[in-house]
Amino acid sequence: MGSKTAYSSKTMTNIYMIRRRRWANVGAVYLLLLIFSIGFMGPFLFAALSSLKDDPLEWPPRITVNQLKLSNWIAAYKLGKAGGGGGFFGAFAPGAVVPFEVTYKVAPGKEPVVPEVVIPRRIPGSAAAALLLKEFAADYAEVSEIKEVEREVLEDGSTLVTYRFEIRHTGDIVIDRLPLDITVPFKQIFVKGTLDPNRIERLGRVQSWDNITSGVIPYIFHNYHRVFSENYSRSTGKNLFMSWIFNSFYLAFVRVITTLLFASMAGYALARLKFAGKNTIFVFMLFSMMIPGQVTFISNYLVLRDGIFGISKLFGMDSLLNTYTGLIISGLVGASAVFIMKQFFEGLPVSLEESARIDGANTYQIFFKIMLPLAKPALGALTILTFQGVWNEFFWPLVVLTSPQDKFTLTLGLLNFRQTYAVAFDWGPMLAGAIISALPIIILFIVFQKYFIEGISFTGIKG
């Protein structure tokens, strides 16, 4: 007899049920995983996409973005070249002749009207940017005669008509941007142009371009371009956004180094050495990890203001407020970093040390020559966690660094952006700035995912 027939009908039903469950489970789990990931990544992705838009608050919010259309890239390249700059980074240079075409649709029975072309004296972006703008394209550009080049009558009786004109540079200086406004009568509907307009205003009567000769890169990333080009310090003239990025990197770099060194020293001592007061220090350390920074900052602010009990005066600094020295000294090493290193050293075998000690090595030699090289994996994780922590830090720099603006870190700079742009509902540069500042961490995270997850389970997470 074959063994198959030996199954009772009840067992068969169970097998049937288990199979049914399995495919349903796998399918449902992946579907849910996907939905949740869209939920958790969605806001980032959509913000990244919208940071390219002319108006990130457009209603209804679209997923298609003019800045991501191939036809516009090609047009921006050609226009950039025609403007006398490069295809990738354009300009409006002396001798430039920029050709432009626009197509309109006119209702049946109506005669198309030649549009009115103006190079406006528009001040772009924020008030700070306006101060920097000295030369206007309007003073140097000449619009040629507007010629009708094509006319087509559609089936429904309406007319498609295309006009062509050229913009000539008549002066002798290079200008950054060439804005353009085209006005047509009511009900003469804009169909297409050499480049998609940035805005269509006054119920479709005015099509408006911010800069037709920008070149491809500034065209796609115009909000990113604005972030860098519109923020200059009024006192020093330095590029603010560049300074903020540099400051964040600098602080992160220094503090990663001090943390690695001092946390491994302290972690080793707490894990392996015997000395009086060890337990007290450990309990004290745990206690310190629990207390919010908003409690201790009151005193710490004063400590830095008075130059750490006046010691800094010996080095010619009256106060450590508004200095990186202050931030670095107060953040030499954190309790959680020491905690991670202590846990790591406790996991290493004792035999290594013992044999070295028999050979006559002292504590420092054992630490620097034997233990530290063994700690590479833990140091790797600590590097990444510290970098992330410093890069994202907000509260303490907010207290210590108040002026001038070019001393800010990136997080403080973004807060500053909120006061410049978000108040005016100008969310383009705002989102671009946020995306730029999130980028290093996201890259680090994707590359070193494992370390992040270890770190989170070690030290808990932010609120």
Which residues fall within 8 angstroms of residue 129, CB to CB, at 6 or more apart? 123, 226, 229, 230
Minimum distance of other proteins from residue 274's CB (angstroms): 8
Among candidate residues 76, 100, 95, 97, the one with its CA nearest the CA of residue 87: 76
**Distance between alpha carbon 249 and the CA centroid of its chain, in Å?**
14
**Shorter beta-carbon distance to other proteins: residue 191 or 422:** 422
**Shorter beta-carbon distance to other proteins: residue 350 or 446:** 446
In contact, 330 and 308? CB cutoff 8 Å:
no
Minimum distance of other proteins from residue 308's CB (angstroms): 7
In contact, 406 and 414? CB cutoff 8 Å:
no
Kindly compute the dihedral angle of the four CA atoms of residues 356, 357, 362, 367, in this order, to the nearest 10 degrees. 50
The two structure tokens encoding residue 30: 């992946």
**Shorter beta-carbon distance to other proteins: residue 162 or 198:** 198
As a residue count, the chain comes to: 463
Q: Count Cα atoms within 13 angstroms, Cβ side, for 101.
A: 11
**Shorter beta-carbon distance to other proteins: residue 2 or 60:** 60
Minimum distance of other proteins from residue 209's CB (angstroms): 23
Q: Starting at the edge strand that comes first in sequence, how are the strands of the sheet with 180-183 ordered? A: 116-118, 180-183, 206-209, 199-201
Minimum distance of other proteins from residue 422's CB (angstroms): 7
**Shorter beta-carbon distance to other proteins: residue 42 or 157:** 42
Minimum distance of other proteins from residue 217's CB (angstroms): 23
**Shorter beta-carbon distance to other proteins: residue 138 or 399:** 399
**Shorter beta-carbon distance to other proteins: residue 140 or 244:** 244
Peptide bond into 60 cis (omega under 30): yes
Minimum distance of other proteins from residue 76's CB (angstroms): 26
Minimum distance of other proteins from residue 463's CB (angstroms): 2
Minimum distance of other proteins from residue 413's CB (angstroms): 10
Minimum distance of other proteins from residue 407's CB (angstroms): 17
The two structure tokens encoding residue 305: 């203001």
**Shorter beta-carbon distance to other proteins: residue 203 or 290:** 290
**Shorter beta-carbon distance to other proteins: residue 253 or 425:** 425
For 288-308, give one letter per residue: b (16+ CB within 10 A) or e. eeeeeeeeebeebbebbebbb
Among candidate residues 74, 75, 76, 72, the one with its CA nearest the CA of residue 91: 76
**Shorter beta-carbon distance to other proteins: residue 316 or 463:** 463
Minimum distance of other proteins from residue 380's CB (angstroms): 16
* Inter-axis angle of helices 427-447 and 410-420, nearest 10: 160
